[in-house]
Structure 1
Amino acid sequence: MPPANAARTVAEDRSAGDDIIVTASRRREKLQDVPGQVGTVSGEDLGKLKAKTLADFAAFTPGVSFQTSTPSTSRVAIRGITTGGTQLNSAIGLYLDDVPVGSSTPFGLGAQALNIGLFDLQRIEVLNGPQGTLYGANALGGTLKYMTNVPDLAETTGRIEGEGGYTAHGAGNGALRAMINVPLADDRVALRAVGVAQWDSGFADDPSHGRDNLGNARTLGGRVTLLAKPTPDLTIRLNAFGQRITSNGLAVSMRDPVTHHPTQGPYDQSYQLEQPSRSSLGLFSGVVDWDWHWAKLTSVTAYQYNSGRTEGDFSVPYSAILGAVLGPAAVKPYLVTTAAQTRRFTQELRLASPDNRSFEWVVGAFYSREKTGQQVNLINAADPSGRLLGIPLGSFDLPSTSREFALFGDATLYVTSKLDATFGVRYSWNHQVFSQYGSGLVPNSANPFGTVFNSSGSDEGVATYLFNLRYHVSPATMIYGRIASGYRPGGPNLITGGGTGNATFDADRLWNYEIGMKTSFAGGRGFLNTSLYHIDWSSIQLSVNRKGVNQLVNGGDARVNGAEMSLSYRLIPEFKLIASGSYTDAKLTTVAPLLGIAYVGARLPLSPRFSLAMAGDYSFDLGSGVTGDLNLAFRHIGQRNAGYPGSSSAPLYKLASYNVVDLSLNLQMGKGWEVGPYVKNLFDVRGEVSASTTANVYVPAAPVPVTLSLPRTIGLTLGRSF
């Protein structure tokens, strides 16, 4: 269960009938009034689900899918807007409160979304469809927002929580979590501090090399927030957030590319080399809200430092690449190390009109400056020097800078008390400079002992648009139409040693056309939201490998047709049912020669055609001050593709559909004590979450590493709120 104050904060964000307040439109608004699909999971529900990572809540937000192999990061897709495992740049906006997190370019591990800790969150918001006017670059598929709890100015509260458990086919898990909220000055200043130490067992083994419990996670994180309200019209919030996740390897099992049967045991893999990973984020922000009565000014200033390091066993592909030139002597264990560090400063200013139900507007400006360093090395692990036949293989130093400046505005005209229309526009200017220092056989085959240098830049201006039409059929039912566009920046490219390839790549863009309905029923005890949409995606950014080097190119167009549904219904005061589902049909509408696809209609990877999640929560009173909640959750993840049918550069592996059932019990006793036993993946299903077919490009019969769902995990949380 979440801290007591977290539950109160969520409750304060509800009005009669459990209407949830969200910030999708950059102003506080009832979820049922937002003209667009917005998925939410409250901090209270995250606690009941025993959610720790994206995998635990993604199915409860329609249209969200993901790919992962390490516990620290995921590739997240919304509404099928992804090119899968080869994607180098994110197609969603990732936010911690009002701050965009991570790199907006492909050079700072931009496609990887850090798994933000879920303890003491107010809620999670998923804004489906392009959010280009208010959230800017990269929000092609939508935006994922982690909303933290703000300090309570009136009351000292806190929580301490311990957790222990065991994962089948793995080992023990444990966690310590704590929160303290302290008012400091007469309801004007308060401090909230959160700390987390968590260790989660891996469950994959490599018996050939004596390694076990691979894919574990060690998480250290903390957050400190200072809230000051010197006057009724002025609020200042200072935030500091830090998190570090380390892992000993990949949670993958080797599968036959044709039969999909395990090549060894069901949780076994075989890699010659160890593959640890590490990701960290430090973020500092200041938010000022100043109500001028005729308008409200919001300033969000932030600085963040992202870093990540991965070590990957690429023995199969590079043995094939180099062996084709140098013969059997080049068949070696090859390690690729990638380290990236991004420093990013962002500043956003917004001015929003009051909620006058006549003419409402938001205008603003956004500035971002990034500086990224990335180092990539190809190493022959069989030689202490890392060389092959005395020749250095490949070392890249890839510094880059990126600047963005944008102006944006949304305006809503209330034509009648029931009908209103919104028009929004954003214009963004992007400037990037990318440099490449490369040495070794791969980047400089003509002189592997020398260094090649390339530097290029790009400038582009991109406009995005929004049009919403909203009609309240009755106080309980609203229908809407939505047209919105989004984009992902282009930029300079990595050049191979032979000088082949494109020096730059262009922005890709999409348009989303959507209709939907939101309604409440049973006297406000139930809510049903539905939407239908069509997306046109053009000049898709694809990653292709040229002479062992990944490049970004524009190749092909796609369309996505889909439907989404979310339901919340309190059947009786003690029992609440929530459900969500989505249908996603994402296909290429052109040939894609760069992927080796010569036909129209290839299905895009990663997103399931069908997904469904349901959870029932029953509250009860045992007397003597003991109350409880019993939560049963079901998740169905449909069949997905890794790679593309018929592709030579991204071979197909069909990921089977799977179902997961979770069960949890939360007991609240006197003096704030809480006990929560739980079982995740009750029936110990081996779900295929994602897969990588990189090696199969060069060796088609190579085993495919498939990321598996968390096996059955039994645990217990013991906490006290005060």
Structure 2
Amino acid sequence: MTKFGQTSRFALLASAAGFCLTISGAAFAQDTAATTVAVAQDPTAEGGSAASDQSEEKIVVTAQKRAEAVLDVPASVSVISGDRLEKAHAYSLSEYATYVPGLIVGSAGTPGQTSIALRGVSSELGVGGATVGTYIGDLPLGSSSAYARSATFALDLLPYDLDRIEVLRGPQGTLYGASSMGGILSYNLRPADLDQLEFRVGGELDSINGAGDLGWGVRGTANVPIVTDKVAARLSLFKQKTPGYINTVTFDSVDGNGVPAGFHANKDDVNEVEQTGGRLALQVQINPQVNLKLEGLVQKTRADGNASIAVDRDDFDPLVGDRDLIRYMDEPFKRDVLFFGATFNADLDFATFTSATSYSKYDIAQRIDATVPFGLAPNPGVLADLLTDISVKKFTQEARLASPTGGTFEWLVGAFYTNEDAPVSQALSLFTTGSNPTFLFTNLSIDLPTTFEEFALFGDVTVRPFENFEVTGGLRWAHNTQNFSQEFNQFDGVSPDPVFTLSADGTSKESVVTWMANARYHFTPDIMAYARVATGYRPGGPNVVVPLIDGPPTFEADKLINYEAGLKGSFFEHRVDLELSAYHIDWKNIQIPVQIFIFTGADNGGKAAVNGVEFNTLYRPFKGARIGFNGAYTDAQLTEDSNAGPDGARLPLIPKWSWSLNADYSFRIAQDWNGRVGGGLRYVGKRAVSVQDGGKLPSYTLLDLTAGVSHGPWELGLFARNLTDERAYLGTTDYLQLGLNFADVTINQPRTFGISLDTRF
């Protein structure tokens, strides 16, 4: 019997814990797939202040739930403008993330299968919910429960009709609450304009090296003032299609080193992706002091498969070809996002009252070919698939009062409530190639309906004891209640009734207090230094329960504290923007996986520390030209031996070094004719695969170019992503536990050339 065959029976039984992953999700790495340079060239993408050339116009953000210039925020903030994202032709968050220092976005191979880490704080280390909060404007979207796998299915909007994306690095537990221990990412969509009638349409074609078809996209926007200065509506629609370029193969033997051999072609171009969606926004200016904004959004993602390939586990060289993946069946992925929001603002003279209400629903259907993980390959007669279905319904309500800005004393108080219902189910099926049930064991299923309810009170106070200096302190108290049920069934393929059933219920209650304190001093109106201390947390929850088996009935919130100092400023008559920050993070009580019978549950244990430096620079040497350089140094490692891993182990999938260098130039060609050109270079260093072994994903460097010509309302764009056609490895899943010395790695998009045409009227 081959080494693979010896492990296959064990895999059938022991890997049941893997399929019933309950809390844990797939491991992701940075997905810095082909991003065009336009993002990096944007001064706002680097946290800079000037909108163009030497202008003194300031970028305004709402990072602290007040409108203020980004260079005045006493925290590390980056802003990516929507205009630049459109010129970049980026189709997912993973395609532009590396232009924000410290932001790591991983992908399992499609938009919507996304994880987000900031400052080395990632769910990759253990189990549980997300460590970075995702928002649409002022409104959260994403599960707070550990069981709904928000850590691996983070919000990933196609960047169209965006005003800006704000990225806040470091814990934001005081103003934003749970699951923001690494920071938050906020999509700020364009509001309906009360004055301007505007229509816009556009489209593009692109060619991916090695893909069987062309990619294409169409988009349109209409902004209509219904009552001038009073009521306006904005409608946007889009559709984007990305062709497949990954091929699948099968194998018929395993050599003495545990490496598959004897490959056979299966299917070509299996990872085609289609994204469609739209948004309707309404703004009503009830009177000069009262404003209401309403919006509804829908986005649908359909993928035929994942952008992954098979590599040798020792040297990470492709096992077959640089686009070949071992699979026996298709792995479709589907995600639907539905979102409604209402934001009401009223100026009460002594304070501004804000009410922010949201309802969101997202549905996920994922199929994984489990033939290899369950030890069935290379037997071509028996296959296995794992189906995951997640449906999350979330209601949130926040109300707050904020005093006017600019005085010697400012305050903000608020209350927050959320109620979440998240049914989760998984099913593992074994069947023959003729789709007939096997006699071994046909089906395992687990249902995990969960609820999460939270109430929180928060506030902060700012005091300016003397000119140019201020101190702020904030506090948040939150209490959550969670309930879940688990029902595990095994079927034999003969009887419609399960041959084995395991049912149990769980509940947890938890109160958490977070706080922050910061001080800032303005040396000049354009140069500011700050110091900040802030805490954040990720909710705990009820654990899986197995009768007569010892296991923790609940797991606790893990928490961290971030110490930070920074300098921000615009220098040399606004020719140079600089943002520099250094930080230290202590992360304790980490949520880690624990085996409870055949299930994967959670427990707390271990500590980690992250030390880092982040910087953004933007230089405007002359009119129309911008040169940007940004980067991050992140030293993230465990600081004690625990079930999470050994002391000193680097946290998985976090590079120690990452940087980008970029430049662009906008110029006048002739009367009513303008041009632009740009280029960008991005580097991501080696990353540890896990804390348990010494394997490292190799570093990579990607090159992007963009150009455009505009005449009146028309604009023609050209772009090239990943010009050198480098294969960047962005994440990994290995099969060492099965005795197979290979891994699946997610790759970036191959070299892509494209052309676009847009017009406004």
TM-score (norm 1): 0.92
Among 150, 173, 191, the residue aligned to 2:233: 191
Which residue is 2:12 aligned to? none
Deviation at 1:546, TM superposition (A): 4.9
> Are residue 109 (structure 1) and residue 156 (structure 2) matched?
no
**Secondary structure of 1:405's aligned partner:** strand
> Are residue 151 (structure 1) and residue 192 (structure 2) matched?
yes
In structure 1, C-alpha distance between the alignment counterparts of 2:527 and 2:304, rounded to whole Å = 51
> Are residue 139 (structure 1) and residue 195 (structure 2) matched?
no
> Are residue 714 (structure 1) and residue 753 (structure 2) matched?
yes
Is the Cα–Cα contact under 8 Å of residues 434 and 455 in structure 1 kept in the other structure? yes
In structure 1, C-alpha distance between the alignment counterparts of 2:454 and 2:224, rounded to whole Å = 38
**Secondary structure of 2:633's aligned partner:** strand
Among 247, 263, 273, the residue aligned to 1:205: 247
Residues 673-688 of structure 1 mapped to structure 2, 5 A cutoff: 673-688=714-729
In structure 2, C-alpha distance between the alignment counterparts of 1:381 and 1:545, rounded to whole Å = 27
Which residue is 1:667 aligned to? 709
In structure 1, C-alpha distance between the alignment counterparts of 2:519 and 2:409, rounded to whole Å = 14
**Secondary structure of 1:378's aligned partner:** strand
**Secondary structure of 1:113's aligned partner:** coil
* Cα distance change, pair 87–201 in 1 and its aligned pair in 2 (3 A): farther
* Cα distance change, pair 544–244 in 1 and its aligned pair in 2 (3 A): farther
* Cα distance change, pair 147–174 in 1 and its aligned pair in 2 (3 A): same
Aligned length: 697
Which residue is 2:611 aligned to? 561
Among 83, 92, 109, the residue aligned to 1:70: 109
Deviation at 1:472, TM superposition (A): 1.2
Among 430, 442, 467, the residue aligned to 2:517: 467
Higher mean displacement: 612-621 or 200-209: 200-209
Among 509, 533, 541, the residue aligned to 1:491: 541
Is the Cα–Cα contact under 8 Å of residues 227 and 238 in structure 1 kept in the other structure? yes
Which residue is 1:225 aligned to? 281
Among 217, 225, 233, the residue aligned to 1:175: 217
Deviation at 1:151, TM superposition (A): 1.1
Among 78, 86, 91, the residue aligned to 1:39: 78
- AA aligned to 2:665 is Y
**Secondary structure of 1:440's aligned partner:** strand
- AA aligned to 1:150 is P
In structure 2, C-alpha distance between the alignment counterparts of 1:440 and 1:194, rounded to whole Å = 47
- AA aligned to 1:657 is S
In structure 1, C-alpha distance between the alignment counterparts of 2:468 and 2:419, rounded to whole Å = 42
Deviation at 1:232, TM superposition (A): 0.6
Residues 22-61 of structure 1 mapped to structure 2, 5 A cutoff: 22-61=61-100
TM-score (norm 2): 0.88
- AA aligned to 2:580 is T
Higher mean displacement: 486-495 or 199-208: 199-208
In structure 1, C-alpha distance between the alignment counterparts of 2:318 and 2:107, rounded to whole Å = 19
Among 275, 294, 310, the residue aligned to 2:366: 310
* Cα distance change, pair 300–232 in 1 and its aligned pair in 2 (3 A): same
In structure 2, C-alpha distance between the alignment counterparts of 1:619 and 1:521, rounded to whole Å = 22
**Secondary structure of 1:84's aligned partner:** helix
- AA aligned to 1:628 is G
Which residue is 2:589 aligned to? 539
Deviation at 1:11, TM superposition (A): 13
In structure 1, C-alpha distance between the alignment counterparts of 2:57 and 2:575, rounded to whole Å = 8
Is the Cα–Cα contact under 8 Å of residues 491 and 500 in structure 2 kept in the other structure? no
> Are residue 440 (structure 1) and residue 480 (structure 2) matched?
no
Is the Cα–Cα contact under 8 Å of residues 146 and 540 in structure 2 kept in the other structure? no
- AA aligned to 1:410 is D
- AA aligned to 1:680 is R
Residues 246-645 of structure 1 mapped to structure 2, 5 A cutoff: 246-319=302-375, 332-382=382-432, 388-389=438-439, 391-440=441-490, 449-495=499-545, 499-544=549-594, 546=596, 548-593=598-643, 595=644, 597=645, 599-644=646-691
Deviation at 1:673, TM superposition (A): 0.8
CA deviation profile, 1:440-463 (whole Å, cap 9, x unmatched): 179xxxx96142210010000000
In structure 2, C-alpha distance between the alignment counterparts of 1:273 and 1:542, rounded to whole Å = 32
* Cα distance change, pair 545–309 in 1 and its aligned pair in 2 (3 A): farther
Which residue is 2:170 aligned to? 129
CA deviation profile, 1:50-92 (whole Å, cap 9, x unmatched): 2222122211111001221232321110001114286442100
- AA aligned to 1:637 is V
Deviation at 1:544, TM superposition (A): 4.2
CA deviation profile, 1:265-320 (whole Å, cap 9, x unmatched): 11101112221111111000111011112100111111110110111122233238
Is the Cα–Cα contact under 8 Å of residues 48 and 579 in structure 2 kept in the other structure? no
Is the Cα–Cα contact under 8 Å of residues 93 and 158 in structure 2 kept in the other structure? no
CA RMSD of aligned residues (A): 2.5
Segments of structure 1 that go 5 or more residues without pairing to the other structure are none
In structure 2, C-alpha distance between the alignment counterparts of 1:496 and 1:311, rounded to whole Å = 27
Is the Cα–Cα contact under 8 Å of residues 119 and 612 in structure 2 kept in the other structure? yes
Deviation at 1:47, TM superposition (A): 2.5
Higher mean displacement: 64-73 or 75-84: 64-73
In structure 1, C-alpha distance between the alignment counterparts of 2:624 and 2:50, rounded to whole Å = 21
In structure 2, C-alpha distance between the alignment counterparts of 1:386 and 1:126, rounded to whole Å = 50
Deviation at 1:624, TM superposition (A): 2.9
**Secondary structure of 2:324's aligned partner:** coil
Is the Cα–Cα contact under 8 Å of residues 109 and 308 in structure 2 kept in the other structure? no
Deviation at 1:236, TM superposition (A): 0.4
**Secondary structure of 1:19's aligned partner:** coil
Higher mean displacement: 420-429 or 634-643: 634-643
Is the Cα–Cα contact under 8 Å of residues 43 and 51 in structure 2 kept in the other structure? no
In structure 2, C-alpha distance between the alignment counterparts of 1:503 and 1:379, rounded to whole Å = 29
Is the Cα–Cα contact under 8 Å of residues 392 and 449 in structure 1 kept in the other structure? no
In structure 2, C-alpha distance between the alignment counterparts of 1:508 and 1:117, rounded to whole Å = 31
Is the Cα–Cα contact under 8 Å of residues 663 and 678 in structure 2 kept in the other structure? yes
Segments of structure 2 that go 5 or more residues without pairing to the other structure are 1-35, 250-263
Is the Cα–Cα contact under 8 Å of residues 49 and 633 in structure 1 kept in the other structure? no
Q: Could you tell me the percent identity over the aligned residues? A: 34
* Cα distance change, pair 688–18 in 1 and its aligned pair in 2 (3 A): farther
Deviation at 1:186, TM superposition (A): 2.1
Is the Cα–Cα contact under 8 Å of residues 125 and 592 in structure 2 kept in the other structure? no
- AA aligned to 1:429 is H
Is the Cα–Cα contact under 8 Å of residues 368 and 404 in structure 1 kept in the other structure? yes
